[in-house]
């Protein structure tokens, strides 16, 4: 179980531009690492577009935004281009990052239980420690939900 103040699990993945992104390369930056179930689905699109719309403010406050799902790079390219997402989306097709961040678990839809990606967001500080953990993401107001943890 990950806890605020604890060390963020190391991660490395390929983004929609074919670049390798890792936590170690991001040392010295505040990282918003958000997990979402699937590209181009309604709620995931709303959440990603909310982060897009608040992206300039987040960057101004020193944040780097990174999305993670189990979709492949090709899917991320289409999703990012269609929605003009200015941040990296990591393809975690083998669920390594998703599981390391406790974002894989039991879900239910229409009374049916199944395993899937849990919508969660982590803010990692400049030293690689977990600063904020959001388990109940408000997709329409996610930027404000994140900033509410700070005094900006």
CA torsion through residues 15, 17, 19, 25, sign: negative
C-alpha to C-alpha distance for 56 and 107, rounded to whole angstroms: 33
C-alpha to C-alpha distance for 34 and 69, rounded to whole angstroms: 9
Catalytic residue among 8, 32, 44, 80: 44
Q: With b meaning 16 or more CB within 10 Å and e meaning fewer, what string describes 83-105? A: eebebbbbbbeeeebbeebbbbe
- Please indicate whether residue 49 is annotated as part of the active site: no
Give the 3-state secondary structure of 13-70.
EECCCCCEEECHHHCCCEEEEEECCCCCCHHHHHHHHHHHHCHHHHHHCCEEEEEEEC
Active-site residue list: 44
């Amino acid at each position: 179980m990950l806890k605020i103040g604890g060390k963020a699990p190391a991660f490395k993945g390929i983004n929609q531009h074919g670049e390798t992104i890792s936590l170690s390369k991001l040392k010295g930056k505040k990282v918003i690492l958000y997990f979402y179930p699937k590209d181009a689905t309604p709620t995931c699109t709303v959440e990603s577009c909310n982060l897009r719309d608040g992206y300039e403010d987040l960057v101004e406050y020193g944040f780097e935004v990174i999305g993670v799902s189990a979709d492949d790079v090709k899917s991320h390219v289409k999703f990012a281009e269609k929605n003009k997402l200015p941040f990296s989306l990591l393809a975690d097709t083998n669920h390594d990052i998703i599981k390391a961040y406790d974002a894989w678990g039991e879900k239910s839809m229409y009374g049916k239980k199944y395993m899937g990606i849990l919508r969660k967001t982590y803010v990692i500080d400049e030293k690689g420690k977990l600063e904020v953990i959001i388990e109940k993401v408000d997709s329409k107001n996610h930027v404000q939900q994140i900033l509410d943890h700070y005094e900006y």
